[in-house]
């Protein structure tokens, strides 16, 4: 079953742990995303604690720096017991290779599986107009995303973070086992919030997403566990 990754967009450990108790009845623990806000507040020790509890963790820090710095950072992150982590594909080929090397080295030191390296192409908050007028990228959005995804794959990434709408075009250029992890998922009737390029869980499935990331529609729901179950069912309806 393809994963629905719950984005834990909470301020602190207490709020996060309270939320996760709502999933105690689940037959299998959900895959969870720890982002910048929570990581910078609670730090690596909290990630280790979550991993020790049996959660598969997507640590979403979107690293982008000179290759050596990224490699050393990834060595540390790989020892936390995480399943996925992220970089910006815009960091270039040497940085992507360094990130992969750091993850492999760090995981080996800790005797853990190497986390999947996911590259961010263009954030789902970026519109085509912003790409052209603010970032001064001449390529259309889809062509830019394909180019960055190919760069990432050629240099060791296991997948990309992209909009669901871009998956069909990416599938034409990338191997079958390459991962397409898609945020910007909003059930029918949900607010878009600050996401510009969105899809429903069913649309993401039809478009070929390998996994979806869902935050506020679950975390702000009156019935988070039931909402998660419904989204999971909708996303995997045709598997």
CB-side neighbour CA atoms (13 Å) of 147: 11
Q: Which residues are annotated as a binding site for substrate?
A: 9, 33, 60-69, 124, 186, 195, 215-216
Q: Which residues contact 132 (CB under 8 A, 6 or more apart)?
A: 138
Catalytic (active site) residue 132: no
Among 49, 65, 116, 132, the active-site one is 65
Q: Which residues contact 136 (CB under 8 A, 6 or more apart)?
A: none
CA 161, distance to chain mean position in Å, is 6
Q: Which residues are annotated as a binding site?
A: 9, 33, 60-69, 124, 186, 195, 215-216
3-state secondary structure of 168: helix
Q: Report strand pairing: 116-120 vs 84-88.
A: parallel
Among 24, 29, 49, 60, the active-site one is 60
Among 29, 62, 116, 132, the active-site one is 62
Report how far residue 3's alpha carbon sits from residue 72's, in angstroms, rounded to the nearest whole number: 29
3-state secondary structure of 132: helix
Q: Which residues contact 69 (CB under 8 A, 6 or more apart)?
A: none
Catalytic (active site) residue 133: no
CA 214, distance to chain mean position in Å, is 10
Report how far residue 54's alpha carbon sits from residue 110's, in angstroms, rounded to the nearest whole number: 17
Catalytic (active site) residue 65: yes
Contact 227, 217 (CB under 8 A): yes
CB atoms within 10 A of CB 206: 15
The residues that bridge with 199 in the sheet, in sequence order, are 185
Residue found by looking up tokens 């969105």 in the block? 198
Which residues are designated catalytic? 60, 62, 65
């Amino acid at each position: 079953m393809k994963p629905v990754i719950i984005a834990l967009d909470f301020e602190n450990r207490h709020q996060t742990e309270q939320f996760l108790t709502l999933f105690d009845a689940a037959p299998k623990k959900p895959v969870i995303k720890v982002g910048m806000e929570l990581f910078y507040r609670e730090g690596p020790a909290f990630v280790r604690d979550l991993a020790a509890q049996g959660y598969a963790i997507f640590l979403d820090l979107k690293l982008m720096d000179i290759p050596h710095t990224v490699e050393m950072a990834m060595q540390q992150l790989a020892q936390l017991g995480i399943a996925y982590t992220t970089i910006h594909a815009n960091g270039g080929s040497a940085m992507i290779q360094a990130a992969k090397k750091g993850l492999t080295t760090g995981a080996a030191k800790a005797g853990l599986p190497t986390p999947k390296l996911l590259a961010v192409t263009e954030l789902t908050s970026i519109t085509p107009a912003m790409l052209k007028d603010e970032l001064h990228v001449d390529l259309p959005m889809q062509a830019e995303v394909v180019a960055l995804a190919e760069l990432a794959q050629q240099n060791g990434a296991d997948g990309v973070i992209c909009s669901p709408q871009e998956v069909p075009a990416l599938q034409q250029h990338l191997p079958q086992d390459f991962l397409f992890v898609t945020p910007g998922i909003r059930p029918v009737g949900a607010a878009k919030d600050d996401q510009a390029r969105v899809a429903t869980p069913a649309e993401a499935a039809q478009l070929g997403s390998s996994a979806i990331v869902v935050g506020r529609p679950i975390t702000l729901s009156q019935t988070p566990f039931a909402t998660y179950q419904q989204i999971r069912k909708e996303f995997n309806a045709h598997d």
